[in-house]
């Protein structure tokens, strides 16, 4: 099955990126969030990011106009979840909370056409468990995009225990259509990439708590590996609340101490220091401007 109409649920960092890339690769996108104004805000942010790409000379004015045309032609704002009845595929990118995701997929499973496929962009949660909640485990799969979605090439494709071959083929076809490369990952907490990254965040945060400067950790990492960002810059970019949810989720599922969130991370989130999104995390983005 070739997915032509995709509903994206969630208009945060990831939903925004997925909606943009889907629309710009020619899919029709129905985009929703619990708060409809967040979708409008997301559309504004996508338009601003196109403009920034022209300013930074990453794309030409012609390419900018082409992308704006695709966004305008392909995206419609969903008034509510019932819009999912029109979708070939629904990609869920809501907050990382098992009970909220289970509840949403149970509702989507009832609204969607029987042949429609449900996808979760969860970073850590069990695809098998979410598939069971949807009532259509054969038509349920994980597609774990990375942030920023328009830039990052990889998508982890995660089959649940009962995901059908046909569903997997549809997810791989959509990944290719979006210009991304798929890596098949096992349905274990954190899959492949986050399983590794969360332990990396944990070590870096532990060092900050014992007095090492974030600048030194990130600079050392960048210079030693040629990576664009170090662990704390990456954590700030993803959102410290997202990192905390992911660590809690993998720790709860595995009981492995290396995924136990440091109290410093928990306190930062409680203080509203969410990283770039809030203007302050391991770095102060007001000062950086």
* CA distance to 94, 122, 200, 207, per residue, from 262 (Å): 24, 22, 12, 10
Residue whose Cβ sits closest to ligand NAD = 12
Q: Residues 224-243: x/- map of binding to ligand NAD (CB under 6 A)?
A: --------------xx--x-
Count of residues that bind ligand NAD according to CB under 6 A: 28
Of 20, 96, 156, 233, which residue is the catalytic one? 156
Nearest distance in Å: CB 88, ligand NAD: 19
Radius of gyration of the chain from Cα atoms? 19
Q: Could you confirm whether 262 is annotated as catalytic? A: no
- 14 exposure class (CB count in 10 Å sphere: 0-12, 13-18, 19+): buried
Of 105, 144, 241, 245, which residue is the catalytic one? 144
Q: Could you confirm whether 156 is annotated as catalytic? A: yes
Contact call for residue 156 and ligand NAD (CB under 6 A): no
Nearest to 175 by CA among 160, 161, 185, 162: 185
**What is the DSSP track for 137-158?**
GGGEEEEEE-SSTTT--EEEEE
Q: Could you confirm whether 267 is annotated as catalytic? A: no
What is the crossing angle of helices 263-270 and 240-254, to 10°? 140
Q: Which of 40, 41, 147, 278 binds ligand NAD (CB under 6 A)?
A: 147
Residue with tokens 């996108």: 29
For the stretch 177-204, what's the b/e string if a residue is b when 16 or more beta carbons lie within 10 angstroms of its beta carbon? bbebebeebebebbbbebbebbbebbeb
Contact call for residue 175 and ligand NAD (CB under 6 A): no
Contact call for residue 196 and ligand NAD (CB under 6 A): no
Residue with tokens 């991304």: 180
**The dihedral sign for the CA sequence 165, 168, 174, 176:** negative
Task: Give, as ranges, the residues between 10 and 49 that touch ligand NAD (CB under 6 A).
Answer: 10-15, 33-35, 38
Nearer to ligand NAD among residue 7 and residue 73 (C-beta): 7
The number of C-alpha atoms within 13 Å of 254 and in the hemisphere containing its C-beta is 21
Q: Which stretch binds ligand NAD (CB under 6 A): 6-14, 52-60, 216-224, 280-288?
A: 6-14
Nearer to ligand NAD among residue 140 and residue 145 (C-beta): 145
Task: Give, as ranges, the residues between 98 and 117 that touch ligand NAD (CB under 6 A).
Answer: 100, 104
Q: Could you confirm whether 20 is annotated as catalytic? A: no
Contact call for residue 193 and ligand NAD (CB under 6 A): no
CA 270 vs. chain centroid, Å, equals 22
Which residues contact ligand NAD by CB under 6 A?
9-15, 33-35, 38, 93-96, 100, 104, 121-123, 144-147, 238-239, 242, 246
Catalytically active residues, by annotation? 123, 144, 156, 194
């Amino acid at each position: 099955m070739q997915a032509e109409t995709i509903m994206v649920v969630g208009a945060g960092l990831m939903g925004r990126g997925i909606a943009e890339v889907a629309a710009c690769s020619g899919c029709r996108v129905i985009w929703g969030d619990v708060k409809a104004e967040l979708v409008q805000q997301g559309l504004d942010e996508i338009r601003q990011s196109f403009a920034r790409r022209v300013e930074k000379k990453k794309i030409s004015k012609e390419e900018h106009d082409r992308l704006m045309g695709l966004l305008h032609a392909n995206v419609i704002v969903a008034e509510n979840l019932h819009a999912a009845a029109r979708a070939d595929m629904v990609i869920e990118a809501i907050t990382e909370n098992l009970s909220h995701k289970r509840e949403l997929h149970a509702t989507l499973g009832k609204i969607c056409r029987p042949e429609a496929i449900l996808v979760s962009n969860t970073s850590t949660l069990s695809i098998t468990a979410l598939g069971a909640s949807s009532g259509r485990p054969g038509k349920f799969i994980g597609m774990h995009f990375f942030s920023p979605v328009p830039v990052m090439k990889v998508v982890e494709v995660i089959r649940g225990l009962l995901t059908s071959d046909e569903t997997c083929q549809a997810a791989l076809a959509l990944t290719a259509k979006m210009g991304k490369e798929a890596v098949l990952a096992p349905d274990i907490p954190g899959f492949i990439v986050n399983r590794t990254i969360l332990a990396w965040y944990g070590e870096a945060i532990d060092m900050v708590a014992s007095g090492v400067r974030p600048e030194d950790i990130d600079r050392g990492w960048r210079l030693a590996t040629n990576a664009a960002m170090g662990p704390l810059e990456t954590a700030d970019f993803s959102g410290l609340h997202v990192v905390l949810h992911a660590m809690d989720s993998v720790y709860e599922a595995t009981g492995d101490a290396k995924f136990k969130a440091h109290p410093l991370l928990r306190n930062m989130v409680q203080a509203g220091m969410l990283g770039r999104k809030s203007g302050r995390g391991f770095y102060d983005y007001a000062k950086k401007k």
